[in-house]
Chains A and B, each alone.
Chain A
Amino acid sequence: MADMAKVLVVTSGKGGVGKTTSTAALGAALAQAGQKVAVVDFDVGLRNLDLVLGAERRVVFDLINVVQGVAKLSQALIRDKRLENLWLLPASQTRDKDALTEHGVASVIKEMRSKFDWVICDSPAGIERGATLAMRFADAAVIVTNPEVSSVRDSDRIIGLLDSKTEKAEKGQRIEKHILITRYDAQRAARGEMLNIGDVLDILSTPLLGIIPESEEVLRASNVGSPVTLSSALSAAARAYVDASRRLRGDQIPMTVPTDRKRFFDRLFGRRAA
Chain B
Amino acid sequence: MNSAIAVRPQPSMRFRGRSFMAFVLTPSLPIANWLAELDKWGRNSPDFFVGRPIILDLAGVPLSEPGISQLITVLAERGIRVMGLEGAEPEQLSTSLPPLLKGGRSAGETNAPAGFDAPRGAQAGAPARAEPTSLLLENPIRSGQSVIFPYGDITVLGSVASGAEVVAGGSIHVYGALRGRAMAGSMGNGSARIFCSKNEAELISIDGYYRTAEEMDATLRSRPVQCWLEDRVLAIAALD
Kindly report which residue of chain B lies nearest to residue A159, judged by CB atoms: B142
Contacts of A203 in B (CB 8 A): 159, 161-162, 177, 179
Would you give the shortest CB distance from A72 to chain B, in whole angstroms? 36
CA of A154 to CA of B142, assembled, Å: 10
Q: Is the CB of A205 within 8 A of B159?
A: yes
Q: Is B145 an interface residue (CB 8 A)?
A: yes
Q: Is B139 an interface residue (CB 8 A)?
A: yes
Q: Is the CB of B158 within 8 A of A274?
A: yes
Would you give the shortest CB distance from A242 to chain B, in whole angstroms? 30
Q: Which of B134-157 contact A (CB under 8 A)?
A: 139-140, 142-145
> Among B143, B145, B158, B176, which residue has its beta carbon within 8 angstroms of that of A153?
B143
Q: Which of A196-231 contact B (CB under 8 A)?
A: 202-203, 205
Q: Is B121 an interface residue (CB 8 A)?
A: no
Interface string of A152-189 (1 = CB under 8 A from B): 01101101100100000000000000000000000000
Contacts of A205 in B (CB 8 A): 140, 158-159, 176
Number of B positions contacting A (CB below 8 A): 14
> Among A157, A163, A202, A274, which residue has its beta carbon within 8 angstroms of that of B143?
A157
CA of A203 to CA of B177, assembled, Å: 8
Q: Is B53 an interface residue (CB 8 A)?
A: no
Number of A positions contacting B (CB below 8 A): 12
Contacts of A159 in B (CB 8 A): 142
Q: Is B108 an interface residue (CB 8 A)?
A: no
Q: Is the CB of B142 within 8 A of A163?
A: yes
Q: Is the CB of A274 within 8 A of B140?
A: yes
CA of A159 to CA of B159, assembled, Å: 13
Kindly report which residue of chain A lies nearest to residue B198, judged by CB atoms: A202
Interface string of B109-124 (1 = CB under 8 A from A): 0000000000000000
Q: Which of A116-159 contact B (CB under 8 A)?
A: 149, 153-154, 156-157, 159
Contacts of A153 in B (CB 8 A): 143, 161-163
CA of A166 to CA of B159, assembled, Å: 22
> Among B144, B159, B162, B177, which residue has its beta carbon within 8 angstroms of that of A160?
B144
Contacts of B179 in A (CB 8 A): 203
Q: A153-B163, A202-B177, A203-B179 are in contact. Are A160 and B142 (CB under 8 A)?
A: yes
Q: A202-B177, A203-B179 are in contact. Are A156 and B143 (CB under 8 A)?
A: yes
Q: A157-B163, A274-B158 are in contact. Are A163 and B139 (CB under 8 A)?
A: yes
Contacts of B145 in A (CB 8 A): 160
Would you give the shortest CB distance from B146 to chain A, in whole angstroms? 11
CA of A205 to CA of B139, assembled, Å: 10
A153-B162, A157-B144, A159-B142 are known contacts; what are 9 more A-B pairs with Cβ within 8 Å?
A154-B143, A156-B143, A157-B143, A160-B142, A202-B159, A203-B162, A205-B176, A274-B140, A274-B158
Chain B positions near chain A (C-beta within 8 angstroms): 139-140, 142-145, 158-159, 161-163, 176-177, 179
A-B pairs, top 5 by smallest CB distance, nearest first, are A160-B142, A156-B143, A157-B143, A157-B144, A156-B161
